Structure 1
């Protein structure tokens, strides 16, 4: 019993390490900035009389928009203007889009239409608008990462994902909100304020790609790109009722997504190597067809990112339903920050069970499986340790916490090369186990988090960083730490590198969307999307939130 308590206590320290950024002394960079300061105006919206809503355009999928532009049924200017009107009309209440380049987008749309008139197409996304999380560098458009010291940061170059979308013909509309440096829960910061869930403005959008998901759900953009270190694509997709893909590790280049400008503010920032093992970038959309459209555009080797791999994205012919092999998990066992993780909410459990029953009714072979508590506890501790060690620029802050609790600054992490090598070796073992586990299945189904979107927490900031991860929320009458509710399921697949797509699966009785993680074998992202599409068409439930149309 004493050993169990010790493990729980140590693991609590691991998670504190994950959010240790919140106590870095960055206050000199903030000046007088505080949580009471007004949120700066990011763009000047036109008067209501000048807003023409185009629900017939903005809720099309990106694939449909591209097709209509190619066929001449829509112009790029029409499409861009429709999205700008949607932003101007609804962003004040949702606060998903934080920077808008209306002039640049309209200028580019005009050029797209002129090119089309001359018989030229720029690529598969010719004339289609997009936004990106404010984590990604955008040339000549500010990129803040939601972090006060970067409030006026204007990069000189595009990140690789932005450059590739532009090369495919897409038009950048603007940037979407995120928590500071993509850490912690929810989507709020001291620069732009809080993003609200379009299904219930009193609830969270999740994080850290929360602005991305809310913008998609409300028709402000048809294409988004997020980053995911512990569920930051998947949790917002689940909470907002949209689709999100966390690809296999290193499938999409990370260049330009590493908190641009931070190396000049915080010593050792250039040594940040988390992208090598845990952070994955991926598309977010309103359809699986759009994920299939975007993955080949975004994926591939990049001379600016030595880790980006070259794997052909080839979509196979769908298998007959009766030949699919699908595993599913009711939950994940074990402990996380000393709390049990094996029970999801009754509302989410009902959606999962209904989803599985629909698949069974379609004669799809399903097998309910389990993962051991030992495996899950080991995976969670390894994830937490790697996050902390690879974010080594805040190691001194973490060590102060550990020392204050244990009297020994090295009680958890000795911060040595040997320890780091041990963790990577342990990670390899965990990956091998998951590879064997998945070898006989086309996909694995499981919940995204313990519940649907919870109500907003009171935003707490320490030196500009969001500090809510250790707060409690209520699930089925029980107090549960936010870290447990939101992180305990997604982080496994950041560690193992498996691709995961979140698909909308249903709704709670109160009308909140619930998603399901569909996990594939490593490097088989294209196959996963084909299978996920089959499953969604049988059992999924995608809807638009009701209050954002004409």
Structure 2
């Protein structure tokens, strides 16, 4: 089993297609791994054992009939618990949706099933995707497989931890301000935020609608590309969906070379708040790109220094609007419905009980920012900063093909260390937020271990909108060069659970 669960998704799919392995064997091995280690990791909120095995059997029957299998048929996947799944609980990490069974699949869920990907279950996350550590889940924090006393990143820490713990070879996350990339950096996995609108948001429980984006998580760049190709594409059910062809991300990942590319380095992404070891690994990554034939160009994007402030006005404002639907009258938790309270009181009592502290904090902040007399001063000003950030990206991409930076300013911090300091927590997404505000594509790949603590560091790559293939081209080249230098994938250095 140990060798089987450590195969890449591409290797697993090839062995299933050839008949060397069955999808049921692969699925049972990963379910056994989850049963063995997840009590310690807490990556999963719900494991759909029966559903996963049924999907796996269907793949094996399809192969036996001689039908052609897709590139990821039979490969297990961990799905962030923010996408609706018909007949399977979707909680968004919140008590207010505890026990809710959706009557329909999200478009992304449907695409996974149509591609014969085996969905193992739903992963832990910060409540409503609000957080940078997966400590805000109503169902307890997830541990980082590199050190279970530390956070795995957030909000999609469950998906990243499932990959790093070898509980699944593929996972799905969502990225509103860095929630795919930051956990990838802290667990030595690969995480991609596609161009905004490239992956349908239909059936994804909304946090901040102009920023939310689903995307692939994996242990290799090629595996992420194969998953990206499955889930991306136009969707008429999503009004923000981009009606353009999906870039050839798989071809780019297989090509993996950077010779002749212009790579930008933003000078604002260093200095105070950046861990020395993180910057050391980042500088080594830039030098590696130079050695491979890339041209390094220094850039200045002054508006990026205001990105965190703008984000924490825009995102809470949109969350305050989106979460108004959770009124306890139609679905979800209902408190005080004993005939002695009005509908308004039932809603208030249910929200008090069902929402956690971080969700309440952001709803209050957003409601205030949108209130009469403050809208222009706060929300309106933040949108102007957002425009400046988009313009800085546009100017930069006239000079370079991609931009690189550290993914996060520090490595994974101990669980509870920043629980009482929301500002310090928010700064975890310092490097990732600008790409969300502009809608660009971005990726995080492992680039080494910080010498101070031996924990993973991530390299972020940002590309223009709908140039997602550039991420995979650069990411695969860097991945191959580092693995040649290290002699193995970085994740192999993680302690055994």
Q: Which TM class, normalised by the smaller chain length?
A: 0.7 to 0.9
Change (3 A) 1:119 1:343: same
Which segment is superposed worse, 430-439 or 288-297?
430-439
Tell me by how many angstroms 1:117 deviates. Answer: 0.8
The residue matched to 2:490 in structure 1 has which SS? coil
Q: Contact 2:299–2:396 (CA<8 Å) still a contact in 1?
A: no
* Equivalent residues in 2 for 1:394-433, closer than 5 Å: 414=373, 416=375, 424=383, 426-433=385-392
* Equivalent residues in 2 for 1:85-104, closer than 5 Å: 85-104=32-51
* Equivalent residues in 2 for 1:57-206, closer than 5 Å: 57-189=4-136, 191-206=138-153
1:469 to 412, 422, 447: 422
Point out where structure 2 has 5 or more consecutive residues left out of the alignment: 325-359, 484-488
Q: Contact 1:345–1:450 (CA<8 Å) still a contact in 2?
A: yes
Change (3 A) 1:392 1:401: closer
The residue matched to 2:422 in structure 1 has which SS? coil
Q: Distance in 2 between matches of 1:488 and 1:379?
A: 8
Aligned twin of 2:230: 297
Q: Distance in 2 between matches of 1:59 and 1:399?
A: 41
Whether 2:447 is the aligned partner of 1:500: answer no
Q: Please, what TM-score do these two structures have when normalized by structure 2? A: 0.84
Whether 2:197 is the aligned partner of 1:250: answer yes
The residue matched to 1:83 in structure 2 has which SS? helix
Aligned twin of 2:356: none
Q: Contact 2:288–2:478 (CA<8 Å) still a contact in 1?
A: no
Whether 2:383 is the aligned partner of 1:450: answer no
Aligned twin of 1:367: 297
* Equivalent residues in 2 for 1:229-308, closer than 5 Å: 229-258=176-205, 274-275=208-209, 277-308=210-241
Tell me by how many angstroms 1:536 deviates. Answer: 2.3
Q: Deviations over 1:364-417 (max 9, x none)?
A: 321233322xx12443333222213222337997797799xxxxx679984658
Aligned twin of 2:320: 392
Tell me by how many angstroms 1:289 deviates. Answer: 0.3
Whether 2:277 is the aligned partner of 1:324: answer no
Q: Contact 2:257–2:473 (CA<8 Å) still a contact in 1?
A: no
Tell me by how many angstroms 1:436 deviates. Answer: 1.6
Change (3 A) 1:418 1:526: same
Q: Distance in 2 between matches of 1:413 and 1:453?
A: 40
1:440 to 385, 389, 399: 399
The residue matched to 1:193 in structure 2 has which SS? coil
Q: Contact 1:130–1:170 (CA<8 Å) still a contact in 2?
A: yes
Q: Contact 2:278–2:450 (CA<8 Å) still a contact in 1?
A: yes
Q: Contact 1:94–1:195 (CA<8 Å) still a contact in 2?
A: yes
Q: Deviations over 1:287-341 (max 9, x none)?
A: 11012111221111112111111222233665864311112236527xxxxxxx6
Whether 2:285 is the aligned partner of 1:355: answer yes
Root-mean-square deviation (Å) = 2.8
The residue matched to 1:543 in structure 2 has which SS? helix
Aligned twin of 2:478: 535
Q: Distance in 2 between matches of 1:424 and 1:162?
A: 32
Q: Distance in 2 between matches of 1:95 and 1:400?
A: 30
| 4+ long deviations beyond 6 Å | 394-403, 409-413
Q: Distance in 2 between matches of 1:239 and 1:392?
A: 29
Q: Distance in 2 between matches of 1:400 and 1:105?
A: 40
Q: Contact 1:139–1:156 (CA<8 Å) still a contact in 2?
A: yes
Whether 2:459 is the aligned partner of 1:516: answer yes
Q: Contact 2:320–2:364 (CA<8 Å) still a contact in 1?
A: no
Point out where structure 1 has 5 or more consecutive residues left out of the alignment: 1-53, 260-271, 334-340, 404-408, 461-466, 471-480
Change (3 A) 1:331 1:71: farther
Count of residues in Structure 1 that have an aligned counterpart in Structure 2: 451
Q: Please, what TM-score do these two structures have when normalized by structure 1? A: 0.76
Q: Contact 1:228–1:281 (CA<8 Å) still a contact in 2?
A: yes
Q: Contact 1:145–1:181 (CA<8 Å) still a contact in 2?
A: yes
Change (3 A) 1:67 1:468: farther
Q: Distance in 1 between matches of 2:256 and 2:35?
A: 44
Change (3 A) 1:65 1:519: same
Which segment is superposed worse, 95-104 or 184-193?
184-193
The residue matched to 1:194 in structure 2 has which SS? coil
Change (3 A) 1:445 1:290: same
Whether 2:443 is the aligned partner of 1:483: answer no
Q: Contact 2:83–2:203 (CA<8 Å) still a contact in 1?
A: yes
